[in-house]
Chain A
Amino acid sequence: MSIKKHNLVPKHTLLTDKQKEKLLADLHVTIKELPKIRLSDSAIQPLEAKSNDIIKISRESRSAGNSVYYRIVIE
C-alpha cells in the first residue's frame, strides 16, 4: 500500500534544479536555512530524490487553506 494515498499525507513533489534555483533566489535563503527532510522519509520514497534536492509540500492548512512548505533532503 502506498502512503501517498492516505488523506493525512500531504502532497510531496520534487523541484527540478531550475525550480530549486529560482526558489532560493525568490526566498532569498540558502540551503542551510531550510527545514530538512530525511532521504529515508517514507513520503518521498517514490520521488527518487537525492541529497540537497528540495521537496515542495502542499498541504491543507486550517488557517490558510492551501499552504506550501519546502524541505531540503538530507543524508
Chain B
Amino acid sequence: MRPQFISKKVGSIKFRILSPKMIKSMAAAKIVTPELYDREGYPVDGGLMDTRLGVIDPGLVCKTDGLRLKDTLGHFGYIELARPVIHIKFVKQVYDFLKCTCNSCGRILIPQKDIKKFSEILTTIGEEQSMQAQHRMVREVVTKYKGKGKCPHCAAKQGKIKLEKPYTFYEEDHKLSPIELRAWLEKIQDDDLQLFGMDSVAIRPEWMVLTVLQIPPVTMRPSITLESGERSEDDLTHKLGDVVRINQRLFENINAGAPEIIIEDLWDLLQYHVTTYFDNSIAQLPPARHRGGQVLKTLTKRIKSKEGRIRHNLAGKRTDFSARTVISPDPLIGLNEVGVPEKMAKHLTIPERITEWNKEYLLEFVKRGPKVYPGANYIIRPDGKRKAIADFTMDEITEELTEGYIVERHLLDGDIALFNRQPSLHRMSMMAHKVRVLPGKTFRLNPSVCHPYNADFDGDEMNLHVPQTEEARSEAQVLMLVQTQLISPRDGLSVVGSIHDAITGNYLLTKELILSYPESVDLLYSCGVEDLSRLPKKEKLDGKEVFSALLPKDFTFYGKDKSGNQVKIINGKLTSGLMDKANLGEESGLLLRNLYSQYGPEFTAELLGKISKLGIAVLLRRGFSIGIADLDLMPQTAKLVAESIENSLQKAFNIIEQHAAGKLQALPGRTVEETLELRMLEVLNKARNKSGEVAMKQIKENAALVMARSGARGNILNIAQMSAITGQQALRGRRIDHGFTNRTLSYFKVHDISPAARGFIKNSFKSGLNPAEFFFGAMTGRDALMDTALRTPKSGYLYRRLSNAMQDLKVEYDHTVRDASGRIVQFQYGEDGLDVSKTKAGSIDVKEIVQAVIGEKQ
C-alpha cells in the first residue's frame, strides 16, 4: 500500500529551553539509583536502564507503551539534582544576564526612561542579525550607563562580574554559587527579557541553571553484549551513571548534615559530571575517560564531530552497489564503455526477477554461486526476505526458486553503470557507460572521454554506480549514456575528441602517407572497419583516401585545420586539409559537431572510436618515437643560435652601460630604473624568440615537431627550450629580483644586473643548465606550482557558490527561466532563447537552414 503523505509548509521554527516542569512532565520515570541491572540481569526500576525508558533487549516490553524492541522509540526520564548546576552550553548567556541586570532587583541596568528608546533597535538587530548580536548590543548599551556602578531602578551597588572559565562566576571577589545564580536569574522580569530577544514562555533565564537533568531514552544509548557475554554500556550511560552516583552521595551528605566543605566538593564534582555529560571537550576541564584512558563520547561529540550526526549521517551519504578504483586508459574499448575488474563485477550485482522465460538462464547464475564469475550472490523471496547463496544453501535455494523470485546476479558485459569523477562540476562529470568486465584491478576508459571527466592517469580514481531498477537503468541509458553527452551545453562543440597518439596518427596519415591497397585494407580492418566499399581500388592510396573510407558517403564539410589550411570534405572524401587537433580534438572544430547533428549520437561515437583507433594503428605500423637526437641542431644552426644569443646579450650589456653612464632615456611615465628593466626584458625575450626561430627553421622532420604541429602534445616553445635556449625566467612579469641582499644568489656580486645574474638561462635543456640557471628555473617552477595550488581551491569555491545559487533555475515551457518558486529570472533563456548545444559555437547559420529546407546546394 502506498503511504499517504501530507505535505505542509514549515512557517517558522522556534527554539526553546526545556523548563524543569517540562522535563518532569515529559519524563516516563524518575531515576534514583546508579545500579543498572539486578542479579538476574533484569533492568532495575529507577535505574538508568529502567524499562519505562524503552527496551533494548529482545523479549522485554517497554512499560510505558507496551511495545517491544525496535517498535518502541523509548521515553525520556529525569533526575532530581541535589543542588543546582550550571548548564555548560548557556554559560555565555548567563554571563550576559549577570553583567546586564541588577544584583538585587533583577532589572536591566538601563534607566526606565531610556528602555523604550533602545527596545526597538535591539529587536531589529535580533531579527535581522542574531541573538548574539543583540546581546552584544545590550552589553554595549549597559556599559554606557554602568559607569555609575549603581542600579538605575533601585540604586543598589553593582559589583564587577567575572567569569572564571569554564563555569565559575564572581561578583567582585564573592563566588556566586549556582543557587545564588538561579535566584538572581529568577528575578529578571519578563519585559526586560524581551530586550535580550527572549520570550519568557520559551526561555526563562533560570532554566539555564539546572535543577533537574533530563535522561535520554535507553534506545538512544543501547548497550552491546560482548562475545564473552559481558555487557558493555554506552558512553552516555557511563556518564549518566557518574551523575546519578554523585547526586545520590550529595543527597545523603546534605541529609546527614555533613560539613560544608564536603558538600562543596561533591557539588563541584556533580557540576563537573553534568558538564562533561553535555560536552567532554571543554578546554579548561580534563575530559572524562574510560578506565582504559579512552575519552568518553558525550552529547556534543555525538552531534558535532566528523563522525557526528550532522557530518556523518546527515551531510554524508553512502551507497551500496558502488565502486571506486584507479583508472587507466584502454583505446580499444568503445567510447560508451567502461572496463570493470572481474573482482568488482562479482560484488556489484543486478537484481533480475525470474519469469517463465528467463528461469533457466538465471538458474545457471545461481548454480555458479558467488565465487565463480558470472554467478549470483543473493536471492530475494517474493516476501522480501533475502538469502545469501552459499555452498550449504545452494540445494535448498535451487529447489525453491520459481517465478517471482529475484536473483542478484553478477555484473555482465553490456549492463549500464554510472561513472563519475570528482569534482562533479558538469553534467558530463557523471555519465552512463556500458560495462565491459575485464581482467586487472583498474577501471578502464577510452582516452577520448578523459576531457569531459577532466581525468588523466597519474593516479586518478573514479566512482561507479550500478542502477538497480529497470527504470533507473533505462533512464541512465537514454539520458546519460556518453554518446548522448557528446555536444557541450557550454558552446555547442564536441566535448570528446581524439587525443595524443590518435591525433598524431591521423595527422601523419592525412599529411604524407602513401599506402598500398593491402596495407590500407589491413589498417582499416584493424580498427574495426568492415565495409571497405568506400576505399578506392587503386594500387597506391593516399592517406586522405584511407581516412575518407571512414566517413559517410554524403558528408560534406568545409573548415580549417590547425595551420590554417582549408579542410574540404566533399561527399565523404577528404580532398584537402589535415586531420589534426583543430578537427579531431575536443571543443575545437565543427567537424565532430556536424557529424553529430547529421548522423546522430550513435554513429558519431562509433566513428570517433574508429578514427582514434585508426590514428593509433597508423603510428603502430609507421613507427613513431622521440629521442635526444630529435633535439640536435646542425652545426651551422647551433652556430647561428649561439650568435643570436651573443648578439642579444651584447645589446643587453649596451643598455646596462648606457644606464651606468646615465645616458638611458626614460620612457614616458617611467623612471630610469623601470625603463632599464623593461628594455632588458624586451631584449632578452627577443633573444629567446629569435634563437628559437632560427632553430625551428632547421628542425623540419622531427617527432616533437609533428606532435606540436598536429596539436597532440607540446608546442614550438617547448622544442626551442629543449634544443636552443631556455630563456629568461620571470616572476610576476619581472626578471628574478635581488631582494634585500642586493643579489639573487651569493654566487653573484651585489647589484649585478647582468642577464645571467637575474635569471637569464642561455643554455638549452639539452645542453644542460648550470647551477645558478637551474636555481632560477626552480624558482619559477615553484612559483607556478604554488600558484596552481592556491588558485584551484579558490576558483573551485567561486564555482560552487555560483552553481549553488543557480541550481534550481530552469527553463520552463514558455522559454522563461524561473527559480524554484516560479519567479521569473529571464524572460527568454539567455536573452535570445537559444539552446547553445544546438547552435554552431553559439550562433545560428540561417543560410544553412534555408538551404536545408529548400534543398539548394551552394
Point out residues on A near B: beta carbons under 8 Å: 27-29, 32-35, 61, 63-64, 67-70
Q: Which residue of B lies closest to A62 (CB)?
A: B831
Query: How far, in angstroms, from A63 to B830 measured CA to CA in the complex?
Result: 7
CB of A68 within 8 A of CB of B827, answer yes
- Complex: A32 Cα to B822 Cα, angstroms: 9
Q: A32 near B827 (CB under 8 angstroms)?
A: no
Instruction: Name the distance in Å between A71's Cβ and chain B's nearest Cβ.
Output: 10
- Residues of B participating in the A interface, judged by any CB pair closer than 8 Å: 814, 816, 818, 822-825, 827-828, 830-834, 842
Q: In the assembly, what is the distance between CA of A12 and CA of B827, in Å? A: 16
Which residues of chain B are near A33, meaning CB under 8 Å?
Answer: 818, 822-824
Closest to B818 in A: A33
A64 to chain B, nearest CB (A): 3
A64 touches B828 (CB 8 A): yes
Contact A61 B827 (CB under 8 A): no
Q: Are B827 and A27 in contact (CB under 8 A)?
A: yes
Q: A11 → chain B, closest Cβ, in Å?
A: 15
How far apart are the CA atoms of A14 and B823 in the complex, in Å? Answer: 21
B824 with A28: CB separation less than 8 A = no
Chain B residue with Cβ nearest A36: B823
Task: Classify the interface of chain A: helix, strand, loop or mixed.
Answer: mixed
Which residues of chain B are within 8 angstroms of A69 by Cβ–Cβ distance? 827
Q: Which residues of B contact A67 (CB under 8 A)?
A: 828, 831-832
Alpha-carbon distance A67/B817, docked complex (angstroms): 14
Neighbouring A residues of B830 by C-beta, 8 Å: 63-64
Among A27, A29, A68, chain B packs the most CB atoms within 10 A around the CB of A29
Cα distance A35–B819 in the bound complex, in angstroms: 11
Q: How far is the CA of A64 from the CA of B827 in the complex (A)?
A: 12
Given contact pairs A28-B814, A33-B818, A61 touches B825 in the complex (Cβ within 8 A) = no
A35–B825 touching, CB < 8 Å: yes
User: With a CB–CB cut-off of 8 A, which chain A residues contact B832?
Assistant: 61, 63-64, 67
Give the distance in Å from the alpha carbon of A33 to the alpha carbon of B833 in the complex. 19
**Across the interface, which residues of B come within 8 angstroms of A68, CB to CB?**
827
Whether A61 and B831, one on each chain, are in contact in the complex, defined by CB atoms closer than 8 angstroms, is yes
Q: How far is the CA of A67 from the CA of B831 in the complex (A)?
A: 6
Chain B's closest residue to A34 (CB) is B824
How many angstroms between the C-alpha atoms of A68 and B816 in the bound complex?
12
Expressed in whole angstroms, the Cα–Cα distance for A74 and B768 within the complex equals 71
Sample (20) of A-B pairs whose CB atoms are under 8 Å apart:
A27-B827, A28-B814, A29-B824, A32-B823, A33-B818, A33-B822, A33-B824, A34-B823, A34-B824, A35-B823, A35-B825, A61-B831, A61-B832, A63-B830, A63-B832, A63-B834, A64-B833, A67-B828, A69-B827, A70-B827
In the complex, residue of chain B having the shortest beta-carbon distance to the beta carbon of A61? B831
Which residues does chain A contribute within 8 Å of B816, judged by CB atoms? 27, 29
User: Nearest Cβ in chain A — how far from B832, in angstroms?
Assistant: 3
| Contact status B823-A63, CB under 8 Å | no
How close is B827's CB to chain A, nearest CB, in angstroms? 6
Q: Which residues of B contact A64 (CB under 8 A)?
A: 828, 830-833
Residue of A nearest to B814 (CB): A28
9 further interface pairs, Cβ-Cβ under 8 Å (given A64-B832, A67-B828, A70-B827): A29-B824, A32-B823, A34-B823, A61-B831, A64-B828, A64-B830, A64-B831, A64-B833, A67-B832
Within the assembled complex, what's the spacing in Å between the Cα atoms of A35 and B831? 15
**A63 lies within 8 A of B818 (CB):** no
Provide the residues of chain A in CB contact with B822, threshold 8 Å.
Answer: 33
Docked complex Cα distance between A35 and B828 (Å): 13
Nearest CB of chain A from residue B317's CB, rounded to whole Å:
34
Residues of chain A with a CB closer than 8 A to B828's CB: 64, 67
| Contact of A35 with B814 in the complex, beta carbons under 8 Å | no
* Residue of A28, A34, A64 ringed by the most chain B CB atoms within 10 A: A64
